[in-house]
């Protein structure tokens, strides 16, 4: 347990530093936004491209692994959607946003730094594949449900097209596919380029975690208690438990990949959920509160799950 704490607590301390910097105005909201921009467009894409470009293509595009991850996502999403709609008496759009909050992990900003520290650089590949599934399938599914409920499907083709375009042009997704395409050519990165990407990518871990902390300052915490707590429980408990059952036993993935996927499932809710909620004016306060509380509680739950997997 002590070794796990020694690995995870310094990383979570970076999140605390970012929060303190934002809370006490050491770093302004504009400064935090600039840091987010650097991580989003430069540091994390550089890390992803560098690692993916060095992998054998036939070993990277693991469709059974992606399919197993999608099964996990759809099961948790479906349970949260039905529970929100029938038990909590939410509207279908509200239930869809709550369900997305229960499955969409903060894989980029938090997952890559934490999981690669625990499992090594090889964990970048399975984490990246879960990101592709979440960004392309789960966000699109949420948009479909919101549009069908609000307009009877009238605006669905355009909304779905915009969503898929944004997902495919996401810097993370682009860098993943670009790295895989480069690897398929059998070319080698020039030493200078490889080192440049290494220096830029090495900034991803501290900057991403610091930016997460800063982004938590001022988040709305007034979301309805029951829907928010339900989403947090689904994200931090149900999601990793189901991922462990599927990827370790039912549709087993290679050992390190299975552990990486379970750790992704144990991550807090990503900011993408808030972006979608705000765009459609659905459950905005609840989405913000879900991100905040899942991040705070995730410090404990992620550490415990990491210890259980790695002992």
pLDDT in tens, 25-61: 998 989 989 999 999 999 999 999 999 998 887 777 8
CA 23 – CA 48 distance, rounded (Å): 31
Q: What number of other Cβ atoms are within 10 A of residue 182's Cβ?
A: 17
Q: Can you give the pTM of this predicted structure?
A: 0.88
Q: Are 218 and 53 in contact (CB under 8 A)?
A: no
Distance CA 266, CA 308 (A): 12
Q: Which two tokens stand for residue 3?
A: 């070794």
The structure tokens listed for 2 are 């002590």
| Residue-wise pLDDT tens digits, 155-196 | 667 777 777 777 778 899 899 999 999 988 878 899 999 999
CB 71 within 8 A of CB 251: yes
- Between the alpha carbon of residue 98 and those of residues 2, 162, 232, 289, the distances in Å are 35, 21, 9, 11
pLDDT reading at 203 higher than 70: yes
The pLDDT, as a whole number, for residue 2 is: 65
Whole-angstrom Cα distance, residue 143 to residue 154?
13
Per-residue model confidence (pLDDT) at position 291: 93
Are 125 and 75 in contact by the 8 Å Cβ rule? The answer is no
Distances (CA, A) of 237 to 99, 131, 174, 211, 234: 14, 19, 31, 25, 6
Exposed (0-12), middle (13-18) or buried (19+): which is 160, by Cβ within 10 Å?
Answer: middle
Q: What is the pLDDT of residue 1?
A: 65
- Structure confidence by residue, pLDDT tens digits, 78-115: 999 999 989 989 999 999 999 999 999 999 899 999 99
Q: What is the mean pLDDT of residues 255-279?
A: 92
Please give the pLDDT value at position 168.
Answer: 75
Q: What is the pLDDT of residue 6?
A: 78
Q: Is the dihedral of CA 139, 107, 132, 239 positive or negative?
A: negative
Q: Which of 287, 284, 281 shows the shortest CA–CA distance to 150?
A: 281
Q: With 80 as the cut, is the pLDDT of residue 281 above it?
A: yes
pLDDT band at 154 (very low <50, low <70, confident <90, very high): low
Q: Mean pLDDT over all residues of the chain?
A: 89
pLDDT at 253: 84
Look up residue 268 and give its DSSP letter. P
How many residues does the structure list for the chain? 311
pLDDT score, position 155: 64
Structure tokens at 218: 């001022």
In this prediction, residue 4 carries a pLDDT of 77
pLDDT of residue 153: 57
Give the per-residue pLDDT at 293.
93
Checking if the pLDDT of 297 tops 90, the result is yes
- Domains recognised in the chain with CATH numbers: 2-310 (1.20.1530.20)
Question: Which of the two residues, 44 and 149, has the higher pLDDT score?
Answer: 44
Residue 210 CA to residue 247 CA, distance in Å, equals 31
What is the predicted pLDDT for the residue at 140? Answer: 87
What's the pLDDT at 62?
A: 86
Pick the closest to residue 135 from 275, 9, 34, 262 (CA basis): 275
User: Among residues 209, 16, 46, which one has the least CA distance to residue 113?
Assistant: 209
Encode pLDDT of 240-255 as tens digits. Answer: 999 999 999 998 888 7
């Amino acid at each position: 347990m002590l070794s796990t704490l020694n690995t995870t607590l310094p990383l979570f301390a970076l999140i605390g530093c970012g929060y303190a910097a934002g809370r006490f105005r050491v770093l302004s909201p504009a400064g935090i936004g600039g840091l987010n921009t650097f991580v989003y467009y430069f540091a994390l894409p550089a890390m992803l491209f560098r690692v993916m470009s060095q992998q054998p293509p036939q070993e990277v595009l693991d469709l059974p692994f992606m399919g197993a991850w999608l099964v996990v996502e759809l099961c948790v999403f479906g349970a949260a959607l039905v529970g929100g709609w029938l038990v909590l008496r939410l509207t279908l759009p509200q239930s869809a946003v709550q369900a997305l909050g229960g499955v969409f992990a903060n894989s980029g900003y938090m997952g890559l730094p934490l999981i690669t520290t625990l499992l090594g650089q090889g964990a970048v590949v399975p984490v990246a594949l879960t990101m592709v599934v979440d960004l392309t399938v789960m966000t699109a599914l949420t948009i479909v449900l919101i549009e069908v409920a609000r307009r009877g499907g009238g605006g669905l083709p355009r909304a779905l097209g915009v969503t898929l375009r944004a997902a495919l042009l996401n810097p993370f997704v682009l860098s993943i596919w670009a790295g895989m395409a480069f690897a398929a050519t059998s070319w080698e990165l020039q030493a200078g380029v490889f080192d440049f990407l290494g220096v830029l990518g090495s900034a991803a871990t501290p900057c991403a975690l610091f930016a997460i902390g800063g982004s938590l300052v001022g988040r709305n915490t007034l979301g309805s208690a029951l829907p928010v707590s339900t989403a947090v429980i689904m994200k931090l408990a149900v999601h990793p438990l189901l991922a462990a059952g599927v990827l370790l036993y039912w549709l087993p993935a290679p050992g390190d990949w299975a552990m990486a996927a379970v750790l992704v499932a144990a991550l807090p809710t990503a900011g993408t959920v808030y972006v979608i909620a705000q765009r459609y004016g659905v459950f905005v306060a609840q989405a913000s509160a879900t991100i905040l509380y899942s991040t705070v509680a995730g410090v404990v739950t992620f550490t415990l799950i990491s210890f259980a997997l790695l002992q």
